[in-house]
Structure 1
Amino acid sequence: MLEVQVTRRVHHGLAVDATISLDGEIGVVFGPSGSGKSTLLRLIAGLTRPDVGRIALGGDVLFDSSRGVDVRLRHRRIGMIFQDDLLFPHLRVGANIGFGLNHEARDRRASRLAEVAALCGVEHLLDRWPSTLSGGERQRVGLARALAPRPRLLLCDEPVSALDLPNRHALLEGLRRVQKAERLPVLYVTHSPAEAIALGTRLFLIEHGRLVAEGSPLDVLANSRHAGFLHLEGVRNVFLGRVAEHAADQGSTRLELTGGPSLIVPHVDHPLGTAMIAEIRGDDVLLSLEPVTGVSARNLIEGVVEAVVPHGHEAEIVVRTGNLRWLASTVGPASGLLALSAGQTVYMIIKARSCRVALATPDRV
């Protein structure tokens, strides 16, 4: 359990004043640029000292202004990854990952290095130099390096903001695997609603340095009390799949989504079995209570409503198909007209041309 209650004056116009707690889950710190998100992570890590407050992790007090406790950064056992991976250019990948294990016996060091390299999908890169890696590869190596010393908490400061869609998806999927395998709390900073909803189980909304709301990401972001987030622009569904079939006229391709249904997308010039990433905006998912025929849209996908979250004149509908969770954005009156509720069967109507497709990164194949 992470428990934080800190205050820090950043400059004349901004003071961070937040109280949060996080168990073994992925928490998202969300808010606009300049709201104090990164400063909050620096305070927890020990890179910046709070003016007053208390920070405890797993029952150990890391900072307490009233008792004069301030554990040094290197003794806090907190892993960190940033937008800039900060790899050591003079060390190969294996040495970068193992840098925090120099105090371990050789066999234990080798075993842990192999374990985290496999977990992060970089075991084939251990002999490479950082300068030869792609952006996504560098970030996954940075994640492995942060995990190697077995941290009790992982802090992530917008690590995917400079990556393209396939690498962004791969790193987010990697974080999910890491959190589950290592059973550690993860605190992830972003200003992307799509990332917040896709990754987090709990969201902390920061405005002007203050925590103004917390809860499930979708509920918090759709709450009409927070005017800056009334409209969830940019909310997207992002899924992994494989090329299953090409239309004879090469006008379309059928993907088999991992853990979900088939999806017809614009033709992709890749052989059967190729791993792909499919992205669909929530605004492009139409809903019907009955199967629909005689329409030009190529996808009619049956699912079950998991939640309906109204906000202002709009609503976000969460639909479950197999192991996949879809987000459909509707206007309020439309969702009311359909009388949608949890447990109800619906049909998603999606045009093929609304599906953006890209090659998945090699570690996802």
Structure 2
Amino acid sequence: MPTPAPVLDARLVRRLRDGLRVDVGFQLVPGITVLFGPSAAGKTSILRLITGLLRPEGGFVRLDGKALFDAERGIDLPLRRRGIGMIFQDDLLFPHLRVRENIGFGLSAMGPGDRESRIERVASLSGVEHLLDRRPATLSGGERQRVGLARALAPRPRLLLCDEPVSALDVAGRQVLLDRLRAVQRSEAISILYVTHSPAEAVALGSRLILVRRGEIAADGPPLEVLTGPAAASLGLTHLDGVRNTHPATVEGHESTRGGTQLRLIDGPSLIVPPAPAAPGSAVTVTVRSEDILLSRGFVPGLSAQNQLPGTVERIAAHGGEAEVVVRTVGVRWIVSVVLPVVEDLGLAPGADVHLIIKARSCQIGVCPPDPLG
């Protein structure tokens, strides 16, 4: 399969006020890329350099092949002409405008019918269609962030930049926004660059991770591979607390005897989960914490756990006294966190056959929003 053409091609050079020098180059294709690193590594500055809120001293920014900035050619388009959407830690909504007006603020060039259609579509994608006549002061923090997401999407940007948008939300609010971002990426086929310093968010959300250290790219690759590699270890990242496995699935049916719901993971096995308020055929996501999965070297009879999934160990990332074991079950990879002695006790190694033991109640279900265009 040919490699998709890059949506963003950037080379950014800039010395910041605190003496840090940003010097990075990377490309983005449609999908979710995580920009990860410690505080003051330069992550937010990279976003600002892409948008033009901070002017690079050298390099270029190209979106779909169009130059937004080019130091040699003297090109420097203003933010309003760059085709880039942004969401931040703070929602930055206009308090005097209703949600509908906030979302439609950047759509003045559209006709009334097209404008309203676009507002309704992005409101539905972001899960705020029932809030359109409310004002920001009446919304929760998570609701305001989802309105901010809808407003950023409304003008149809080709690139969405997210600067730690869930940092001020509770656990439930974070999960809802992350689920919406995944749905948005699929529906709008947009490239998303997401800044975080949370390993759990990075693994749950991104298919690629760029690790930034002191203004430079220290590593670039699959999130788990980077986060358990030497570059992350040099930053003191020795364990991955709270990492979650999140997979898309389809509801197969509901069990009348045991009261559970049966899902079919996309490209993967079936899974029994707690009763889910979704009809057969509905699209959902299932999330399981890496530390809530047990490993065995074969099927174990007589367990109360309803799921025993056969799989194969692909790789093991050991760090300190812990390890992350990557297991493939059909076409789905799982991350399982174990203490290091378990690796030796079970004889785990790449190619080893194992079973994943997962309690139904360890599975959290998210119902995917429908596509407004069907």
TM-score range, shorter chain: 0.7 to 0.9
Question: Quick one: which of 332, 350, 361 aligns to 1:341?
Answer: 350
Distance 2:311 2:126 in 1: 33
Separation in 2, partners of 1:159, 1:324: 28
Match of 2:323 among 315, 323, 334: 315
Does structure 1 retain, via aligned residues, the 8 Å contact 2:244–2:289? Answer: yes
Identity %: 50
1:213 aligns with 2:224: no
Classify 1:106/1:278 alpha carbon distance in 2 versus 1 (closer, same or farther; 3 Å): closer
Out of 309, 312, 315, the position equivalent to 1:305 is 312
- Cα displacement (A) at 1:278: 7.7
SS in 2 for 1:113: helix
Root-mean-square deviation (CA, aligned residues, Å) is 3.2
Code of the aligned partner of 2:314: A
How many Å separate the matches in 1 of 2:89 and 2:11?
26
TM-score normalized by the length of structure 1: 0.83
Match of residue 58 from structure 2: 52
Deviations 1:91-131 (A, max 9, x none): 11111111111111111112211221222222211111111
Q: 1:293 to 1:194 in 2, by over 3 A?
A: same
Q: Does 1:128 align with 2:128?
A: no
Contact 2:51/2:79, CA 8 A, preserved across alignment:
yes
Rounded Cα–Cα distance in structure 2 between residues aligned with 1:280 and 1:36:
32
Q: In 2, distance between residues paired with 1:226 and 1:273?
A: 38
Kindly indicate whether the alpha-carbon contact (under 8 Å) linking 1:167 and 1:361 is maintained by their aligned counterparts in 2: no
Matched, 1:282 2:262: no
Judge conservation of contact 1:26–1:199 (CA < 8 Å) in 2.
yes
Give 2:3's aligned residue: none
Contact preservation (8 Å) 1:167, 1:360 = no
Find the partner of 2:185 among 172, 179, 187: 179
Q: 2:122 pairs with 116, 130, 144, which one?
A: 116
The one-letter code sitting in structure 2 at the alignment partner of 1:262 is: I
* 1:1-365 matched pairs, under 5 angstroms: 1-227=7-233, 228-237=236-245, 259=265, 260-263=270-273, 273-274=276-277, 280-293=288-301, 298-305=305-312, 307-312=314-319, 314-320=322-328, 325-332=333-340, 334-335=342-343, 337-341=346-350, 345-350=353-358, 355=362
The CA deviation at 1:348 is: 2.3
Q: What's the offset of the Cα at 1:176?
A: 1.3
Structure 2 Cα separation of the partners of residues 222 and 362 of structure 1: 30
Q: Is the 1:308–1:315 Cα contact (8 Å) retained in structure 2?
A: no
Tell me: CA distance 1:116–1:360, structure 2 relative to 1, closer, same or farther (3 Å): same
Seen in structure 2, the aligned counterparts of structure 1 residues 16 and 308 have a Cα distance that, compared at 3 Å, is same
User: Aligned pairs, how many?
Assistant: 349
Cα shift at 1:329: 1.5
Deviation sequence 1:245-278 (CA, Å, 0-9, x none): 8999xxxx856567451247xxxxxxx6558998
- C-alpha distance in 2, partners of 1:347/1:362? 28
Distance 1:206 1:218, change over 3 A: same
Amino acid at match of 1:188: Y
DSSP 3-state at the match of 2:195 = strand
Alpha-carbon distance in 2 for matches of 1:258, 1:32: 37
SS of 2:120's equivalent in the other structure is: helix
Mean CA deviation greater in 312-321 or 186-195: 312-321
CA distance in 1: counterparts of 2:118 and 2:328, whole angstroms: 37
Pick closer, same or farther for the CA change 1:96–1:322 going to 2, 3 Å.
farther
Q: CA deviation at 1:240?
A: 9.1
Residues 167 and 238 of structure 1, relative CA distance in 2, 3 Å threshold: farther
Deviation at 1:164, TM superposition (A): 2.1
Superposed CA offset, 1:142-180 (max 9, x none): 111101101111000111122222221221121111112
Which ranges in structure 1 are unaligned for 5 or more consecutive residues? 265-271
Deviation at 1:236, TM superposition (A): 2.7
